[in-house]
Amino acid sequence: MDPVVIPILVAALVIIFLVAASVRIVPQARRYNIERFGRYRRTLQPGLNLVLPVADRVNTKLDVREQVYSSDPRPVITEDNLVVNIDTVLYYQITDPRSAAYEVADYLQAIDQLTVTTLRNVIGSMDLEETLTSREEINTRLRTVLDDATGKWGIRVNRVEIKAIDPPNTIKEAMEKQMRAERDKRAAILHAEGERQAKILTAEGTKQKDILEAQGTQQAMILRADGEAKAVERVFQAVHRNNADHKILAYKYLETLPHLANSENNTFWVIPGELTEAIRTVTTAFGDHSKTGLPDAARSENADAVGTSDEGGTPEIEQAPANSAAAAADEVAKQAAAAVSNAKAEAEAAQSSPAPGRGQPSTG
């Protein structure tokens, strides 16, 4: 091999090595801290960067995106001397790569220890009940303290969250019993309130029903009374318009008597004292005035049913069951009809037979 070629190859290799050593490609969201002979020189930004070979070297590579750090559960004593385990989650971001690399040896460990001490200070001034219900306040106080302390380290704490608060098992059992009692209490209250509302609604429904039924009954009675009044008025007008005499009225009176005892509520029936007068009037209307009167059976029934008082002949009232009253009324109606039929028959016989002294011999 030619002695000249060897130095050329060596020089080429050296040049290639120097060029490769002087070029640094930094990915996006990354930062490289460069030291020259052991001293911080600069921070490389994303993209293509040139450095001095051999003299410059990359000390730390940092990720400037927002990071999530979850700490292990740590025991913390509350104000009422109860030990609870609290687990926190930290969201942070590196804002100054130089400070994060040179101001603190291990920023994650520093943040973790600062979180624990701050958490113990905050929880130590609260009891268990307040600790469980004041997570937002605890998060705000933790973030304020951590942001102030980590600012000089080139780190910004964006958010601090308490992931879990675990009280002792005995406290958990007591809390479960308390919550169960509260739920039972609310259930009993809701059940009682439901029954109360149901009873109120039922009573209101019954009240409305009674009111509507009473109004319906009232309207029905009013309409029935109006109908009866109109019927009576028409009957009265018809009687006066046709100029009915007392004979027709007496006959209608006798027809109405049997209906007086048909009601289910009747316990006695009164035979009026003017019954004989009505029968006599009807009989007189269809027969000879000299032969008017009631048959013997009718008179005996009337004498049994109607009595005269000692003071003025006022009819006495005989009380009988409803069935007896109806039977008596039917019997009186039958007797009245029989009297009327007899009177008609006698009137027709008197008209058909010739009067004595008009050319026919008498049967004396």
| pLDDT at residue 356 is higher than 60 | no
pLDDT digits (tens, 9 = 90+) for 286-310: 554 444 444 444 444 444 444 443 4
Cross-strand pairs, 86: 74, 165
Other C-beta atoms within 10 Å of 331: how many?
Answer: 15
Phi and psi at residue 281, in whole multiples of 5°? Answer: -65, -40
pLDDT exceeds 50 at position 4? yes
Q: What b/e sequence results for 152-176 when a residue is b if at least 16 CB atoms lie within 10 Å of its CB, and e otherwise?
A: ebbbbbeebbbeebebeeeeeeeee
**Which helix (H) or strand (E) covers residue 48, if one does?**
strand 47-50
For 78, half-sphere exposure in the C-beta direction (CA atoms, 13 angstrom radius) is 20
What mean pLDDT is predicted for residues 150-173? 86
pLDDT of 192 higher than 80: yes
pLDDT score recorded for residue 214: 93
Top-confidence residue, 297 or 151: 151
Strand partners, 50: 23
The tokens describing 112, both together, are 């973790």
Q: What is the pLDDT of residue 32?
A: 93
Between 208 and 354, residue with greater pLDDT: 208
